[in-house]
Amino acid sequence: LTGSRLRLEVHDAGSGRPSVRVAALSDERGRGMFLVNELAERWGCSSRPGGIGKFVWVLVAPIPAPVLVNA
């Protein structure tokens, strides 16, 4: 946890940087960063310590639970 936010990180040894794109309905891939962008409060990409690869970090804000009303 970072303050009241959940911080997630994904590390890899690749040199490419992630980007948000809109996938066609027939595409079998390419929706990951779109989903991250929609669900996260903030996200970014940084170099890994030691200079090999990168990590993508995401901050997710809590969502209040819905209020249930008895009918």
CA distance linking residue 42 with residue 4, whole number of Å: 13
Nearest C-alpha neighbor of 63 from the set 34, 39, 42: 39
> Measured between alpha carbons, how far is 48 from 35 in angstroms, rounded to an integer?
23
pTM: 0.76
**pLDDT tens for residues 11-68?**
999 999 999 998 899 999 989 999 999 999 999 999 998 889 999 999 999 887 778 8
pLDDT at 51: 84
